[in-house]
Amino acid sequence: MLEKTGIPTSDEIEEVSPSKKRLKSGPVAIAECFRQIPCDPCYHSCTAGAFAKFGDINNKPNIDHDKCTGCGVCISNCPGLAIFVVDYNYTEKKGLVKIPYEYLPLPKEGDEVVGLDRQGKEVCKATVEKVEDGENKDKTFVIWLLVPKDKVMDVRNMKVGE
Amino acid sequence: MMIYADVLVIGGGPAGLSSAITTAEKGAEVVLVERDDTLGGQLVKQTHMFFGSKNEFAGSRGINIAENLRKKVNENDNIKVFLNSTAQGYYDDGIVGISHHERFKKIKAKKVIVATGASEKMLPFPNNDLPGVYGAGAVQTLMNVYGIVPGENVLMIGAGNIGLIVSYQLLQAGVNLVGIVEADSEIGGYLVHASKIRRAGVPIYTEHTIQEAKGKSNVEKAVICELNDNWEEIPGTEKELEVDTICLAVGLKPISDILIQADCEMAYAPQLGGDVAVRDENLQTTIEEIYVAGDSAGIEEATAAMLEGELAGLSALMDLGISKKISKKQRRKTKENLASLRRGPVGRKIREGLKITKEGNDAGKNRYTHIR
């Protein structure tokens, strides 16, 4: 499926996801990097020691979700833009998804946008909670999206609403 | 007038720049010849972040890597750069002729590193000569160097890394990308690139091909269809897409002309994109003075090209007897870095191709006899 369409299967997502318990206990990074490629900046960017050391540069990232603080420094360091941070209990009513973003125009904080899933389908409305400046991060911006809690594992992109 | 040098580097892309820097930093007198009016090769249009290891600029964007290398070259007094210059031929006495501002100049170097890069492959289909049919490299140049979008509605042909990367750049430029067509049953490029494009809503049509382009004076439509397991078109599966631009990213082939003309032994390695020079593990060809590096040695990506450039440079230094001990040590490390880059599943094709370049094959031996 992934090889044919670019869309990972639910099993593949499950495999890299933190436990339900961890998901609910604070922000956590998820590396949706499913195939071996020679690449390791995520490991080098992590200050919490959550990424396992790459014995072979072709290894897939392996996050210890208990060590991960969900700081999100890895998001803009991933050349594949494949790392996201989710925070299920960000507020009482809403969850949070942090996504890497390299498109213009940039949304502004407070904007209502449309959350898109892994195939670019609209899944829900989202509110831009924060726009992390990309200028000091080699131009990869990180957008914080407030989404319904049950959509934190679905929203992986956004578009500025019409 | 004859220009003398220890090392002549032909090509100012990632491989050539690395060769020039590596050799000049150790004190060699270097001449660097580049066809274009700027140094950097394909790096100057790579706006995405590179993969690879932290030591080799991973996470940096190609454009910034180019800037960094260019700066090193410009700051080094041992490197003499000839821009707008094309190497014309390698002659028996080891002299390379270049055209420079419509003048013929002769360079006599003790060692020559060929880093001439690659050219794009073409795809035959009806009306592929209509305006609006572009190579992916041209689209990248238009957009990322000159700031011009190629069209409004684009169809990409090819889901290798170049097809995927240029697709992403089209989306970033605000162009409507109608889809990506790939004849193979699987996406060839890195799947993280594919996922990035897919979550922007762009369909990837694997096991599809372009049947024809339609239009009077420029592309107005593209007809795509499904392919069966034998890569034959399946009648009745045709789909017409409204596009004004068709972008071809169907592979690269090494630019080997000067190697062939110099009479280096060649081998046909389809895994590396075509005819490449037979060479040893230090990138020395069958002509002692000539080394190869980068895409002209086999299609790979820029990180490998930079490492190969370094490797060829270090080999040339050792053979020249410059900083022999340090070069040897450094070379061992460079080789190890290259090997680790190629060790994974995406390096499988490269590894197979490299086997052929070490052993040679008959196809390569016999192909160019008519030239001699």
Task: Tell me how close the Cα of B40 comes to any Cα of chain A, in angstroms.
Answer: 19
Which residues of chain B neighbour A81 with C-beta distances below 8 Å?
192, 196
Determine the residue among A7, A39, A51 to mutate to test chain B binding: the one whose Cβ has the most chain B Cβ atoms within 10 Å. Answer: A39
**Which H, E and C letters describe chain B, residue by residue?**
CEEEEEEEEECCCHHHHHHHHHHHHCCCCEEEECCCCCCCHHHHHCCCECCECHHHCCCCEHHHHHHHHHHHHHHCCCEEEECCEEEEEECCCCEEEEEECCEEEEEEEEEEEECCCEEECCCCCCCCCCCCEEEHHHHHHHHHHCCCCCCCEEEEECCCHHHHHHHHHHHHCCCEEEEEEECCCCCCCCHHHHHHHHCCCCCEEECEEEEEEECCCCCCEEEEEEECCCCCECCCCCEEEECCEEEECCCEEECCHHHHHCCCCEEEEHHHCEEEECECCCCEECCCCEEECHHHHCCCCHHHHHHHHHHHHHHHHHHHCCCHHHHHHHHHHHHHHHHHHCCCHHHHHHHHHHHHHHHCCHHHHHHCCCCC
Which pLDDT tens digit goes with each residue over B192-250?
999 999 999 999 999 999 999 999 999 999 999 999 999 999 999 999 999 999 999 99
- Indicate whether B16 pLDDT > 80: yes
Instruction: Report the residue from A6, A45, A57 with minimal CB separation from B195.
Output: A6
Report the percentage of chain A scoring pLDDT > 90. 92
Name the residue among A3, A33, A57 with its Cβ closest to that of B341: A57
Q: Does B324 touch chain A (CB under 8 A)?
A: no
> What pLDDT is stored for residue B56 in this prediction?
74
Q: Give the pLDDT confidence score for residue B358 in this predicted structure.
A: 85
Q: How far is B33 from chain A (nearest CA, A)?
A: 31
Nearest Cβ partner for B199 among A3, A44, A116: A116
Q: Could you give the number of structural domains in chain A?
A: 1
Residue B370 predicted with pLDDT over 60: no
Tell whether the model's pLDDT for residue B78 goes beyond 70: yes
- Per cent of chain B over pLDDT 70 is 97
Q: Would you say residue A137 has pLDDT above 70? A: yes
The 10s digit of each residue's pLDDT in A11-64 is: 999 999 999 999 999 999 999 999 999 999 999 999 999 999 999 999 999 999
What is the reported pLDDT for B372?
47
Cβ distance A120 to B59 less than 8 Å, yes or no, reads: no
Q: Which two tokens stand for residue B220?
A: 């107005």
What pLDDT, on a 0 to 100 scale, did the predictor assign at position B31?
98
Note whether A35 contacts B: Cβ–Cβ < 8 A.
Answer: yes
Q: What is the ipTM of this complex?
A: 0.96
Give pLDDT, residue B360. Answer: 74
For residue B362, what pLDDT is reported? 62
The average confidence (pLDDT) of chain B is 94
pLDDT band at B367 (very low <50, low <70, confident <90, very high): low
Could A4 and B190 be called an inter-chain contact, meaning their C-beta atoms sit closer than 8 Å?
no
B3, pLDDT greater than 50 = yes
Domains along chain B? 2-119+252-367 (3.50.50.60), 122-248 (3.50.50.60)
Name the band, by pLDDT with cuts 50, 70 and 90, for residue B59: confident
Give residue B354's pLDDT. 95
- B64–A contact, CB cutoff 8 A: yes
User: If you average pLDDT over residues A71-99, what whole number do you get?
Assistant: 97
> Which domain does A114 fall in, by range?
2-160
Q: CB-based contact (8 Å) between B268 and chain A?
A: no
Nearest-CA distance B41 → chain A (Å): 21
pLDDT at B15: 98
Q: Is B348 part of the contact surface with chain A (CB cutoff 8 Å)? A: no
